[in-house]
Structure formats: structure tokens, C-alpha cells
Structure 1
Amino acid sequence: MSTPAETQIDQLLDFLHIVEKLKRTKRTGWINSGINQPESIADHMYRMSIMSMLIEDPSLDRNRCIKMSLVHDLAESIVGDITPFDGVTESDKHDRERRAMLHISELLGHSAAAAEMVELWQEYEACETAEARLVKDLDKFEMIIQAVEYEKSDAKSLDSFFESTRGKFRHPQVQAWVERLYLRRNCLN
């Protein structure tokens, strides 16, 4: 018979095993594009977190942006990486991810950390705060910078990733990064 403390630790370990799936789950868009050795969801979230640290905007809560980058795809540890081409409606995808986040919260005993993760995920999904809008920009920017890297390593064109994000960046610093990335990409072609 486990003590309450042991049960809590067991639940934490179960949560960490779920999070580990983010390290093994490859991003669907890259798999569908035939990329050799595509990045994992965790790889994507990690670089977004680093990008959040690089934003120089005193009007934003940078620590909140870093945390949001770390959890924005956490539900994918349970539901997988669902893309717009998977035949799942946006509302169904959101509902699946919401249920996954609730499961994660329950697994962590509705702790303060679990509540913060769910809150950050909800904020990201609603995209109503400046921090959420920035992290949405970083999500798209991380994808296209990765696309440039795959175009070089796999010698293929990934124009569709650039077309799907063109004109959608809002934050001025990210817009400057995007413009420079486009220039550098054009020099490679």
C-alpha cells in the first residue's frame, strides 16, 4: 500500500513518462514532407523557449513567454502532432488537446504547477494576450527556420511552409528575423 506522498510521486513519474513522448514524437509536417531525421515536438518547443529568451521587449513578460513555449504543445504528448492536413477539424483538435491538458492536470493532482501549465496552454490557444501572440509568432518562425535547415540538409524545396506563414507575423522583432531569414534563404537558392 502506497502512502499519499508515494502516490503523488508515482503520478509525477507517470507525467514525466508522458512528457518523454514529446522527445520521441516526430513532427508530422516534416514526416509528410519526407524529411530525413525530422525534429521531435520537444526539439521544436526547446528552440522556441530559447527564442523567447532572445526577445527584447520590455512590454512582455518574457518568463511567461518562455514557460508558454515550453507547454504550448504539451497536449501533443497524448494526442500526437495533428496538422491541418490530418482531416481533424480545428474544434475537434482543440477539444482533444483540452482533454489531454485536463488529464495532465489530474495526473499532477491539480497542483499549482499543473494549474499553471493548463492556464498557459489556454492563454496560448486563446491568443488574446501579447505574450500568446508572440509565442504564436515564435511557433511559426521556428517552423520556417527549421524548414530552411531542412532545405539545406535534405536538398528539397519546402515552399509550402513559407507560404502558410507569409504575412502572419505580428511582433516587430520576429518580423525582422523573418525578413532576414527570407533574404538568407534566397541567397541559398
Structure 2
Amino acid sequence: MALIAENKKILEFLELVGRLKHVKRTGWVICNIDECESIAGHMYRMGLMTFLLTEENNPTNLDRFRCLQIALVHDLAECIVGDITPHCGVTPEEKHCQEDEAMKKIAELTGIAGDRMYELYKEYENQSSPEAQFAKDLDRYDMILQAFEYEKRENSPNRLQEFFSATEGKFKHPFIKDLVNELYRQRQEFESKTIVNGNA
């Protein structure tokens, strides 16, 4: 009987997180981006980026598996509270409170595994480890990379500049800084070509 009750909770957990495959990220919805990414899509690419850490670009020996775990849980609360942004009229304190309560509910459904997810979530929220700080870099980088992809798709250079302005100067890890520089270079090139072609 105990096993049935436990499995029932696990199924509830899986159905909750399954919502993230279908919930669109609020920032893109507000900007009227058609067919924009889901929360799960965002976390998926963040997770894949952790595999790109190597001995050459990871001088501080970040724990790649821990980075991956943090990337996969950092927005998990949004399966209950949704993607709350500064445009939603919710204070940062209230946002944190809502997400913390959601993570506690998620943790209760999955026992020891949930305790681990909650611990990683708090680590990310508090930015209390190098891995959490790297995950924050990934979060910001994926956002501007996605913004650039939408600008290219719509042939609208600089349309989503607010996302670049919001992250400027905030990246810390040298590997991500290098990727940011390359992204900026390609974005500048895209803008120049568009102007030359008379589409701007």
C-alpha cells in the first residue's frame, strides 16, 4: 500500500513537471514572439551547455554534473506558479515566496529526490556555489542567444535589445564570456548585413 501511495505521488510530480513542456516563457509572450520556446526547452539547452565544459575551458574545475542538475531544477517551481517576470506586477520578494512554496510542494511528492531538488534550487537562488553561478551565466546566455535567434528569424535586428541590456556585464565565467563575445560579434554582423541589404 505504501508503494502505491509513493508511486501516486511520483506520477503527480511527473505530470506537474510535464507542464513545463507546454508553458511558454513570459518574456517572449510579452514581446509577441510567435511560436516561442517553452520553459522546458530553455532548461534543456542550459543542461546541454554543461556538457561543453572541458579541462581547457573549465579552469576552476566546476562539477559538470552538479551544473547539469542545477540547470534542470532552477525553474522547476514554474510548473506551479508560472513564469513570473518583472512585468507581471509581482515583487521579487513575493516571487521568491511563491516559488519557494512550490518547490516545497514538489519536494514533498518525491521524498529524498525532492529534498535534493530543493537543495539545488536553494543553491541556485542564493548563488552559493561556483556551480550555481555558472548556471546563472547559462540562464542569461540562453536568453540572449534565444533573443538573437528570434531577431534573425524575424529579420529584425536589435528588436530584442532589452534582453541584451539586462544582462550586459553580468557574465562571470570565462567560457561563457567568450561565447557572449562571439554572439555579440555575430549580432553586429547580422545588423550590418541587414542595413546594407536595405531591410532595416
TM-score by length of 2: 0.90
Partner SS, residue 180 of structure 1 = helix
Cα distance per residue 1:103-161 (max 9 Å; x no partner): 011122xx221111000000000002100100000000000000110001123311101
Note the alpha carbon deviations across 1:44-91, whole angstroms, 9 max, x for none.
000000011112315211100001000000000000000111111111
For 1:52, the equivalent position in structure 2 comes to 50
Give the corresponding residue for 1:176: 178
Give the secondary structure class of the aligned counterpart of 2:189: helix
- 2:197 matched to which residue of 1? none
Structure 2: where are the runs of 5+ without partners? 192-200
Q: CA deviation at 1:179?
A: 0.5
Match of 2:162 in 1: 160
Q: How do 1:91-170 residues align onto structure 2 when only pairs under 5 Å count?
A: 91-108=93-110, 111-156=111-156, 157-170=159-172
Give 3-state SS (helix, strand or coil) of 1:18's partner: helix
Q: Is the 8 A contact 1:35 1:154 kept in 2?
A: no
Q: Contact 1:36–1:154 (CA<8 Å) still a contact in 2?
A: no
Supply the distance in 1 between the matched residues of 2:24 and 2:155 (Cα, whole angstroms).
20
Query: Is the contact made by 1:46 and 1:70 (CA closer than 8 Å) also made in structure 2?
Result: yes
3-state SS in 2 of match to 1:164 = helix
Whole-angstrom distance in 2 between the partners of 1:115 and 1:148: 36
CA apart distance, 1:17 = 0.4
Say which is worse superposed, 17-26 or 49-58, in terms of deviation. 49-58
Paired-residue identity, % = 47
Q: 1:42 aligns with which of 36, 40, 53?
A: 40
1:163 deviates by 0.5
| Alignment partners' CA distance in 2, 1:46 and 1:127 | 20
Amino acid at match of 1:68: I
- Kindly report structure 1 stretches of 4+ aligned residues shifted beyond 3 Å: none
Gaps of 5+ in 1: none
1:137/1:171 contact within 8 Å kept: yes
Decide which structure has the larger Cα Rg and report it: 2
**Residue identity matched to 1:29:** G
**For residue 20 of structure 1, what is the aligned residue in structure 2?**
18
Whole-Å separation in 2 of the counterparts to 1:83 and 1:144 = 16
- Letter in structure 2 aligned against 1:80: G
CA distance in 2 between partners of 1:104 and 1:118 (Å): 8
Aligned-residue CA RMSD (Å): 0.9
Question: Contact 1:68/1:124 (CA < 8 Å) preserved in 2?
Answer: yes
How many angstroms apart in 2 are the aligned matches of 1:25 and 1:155? 25
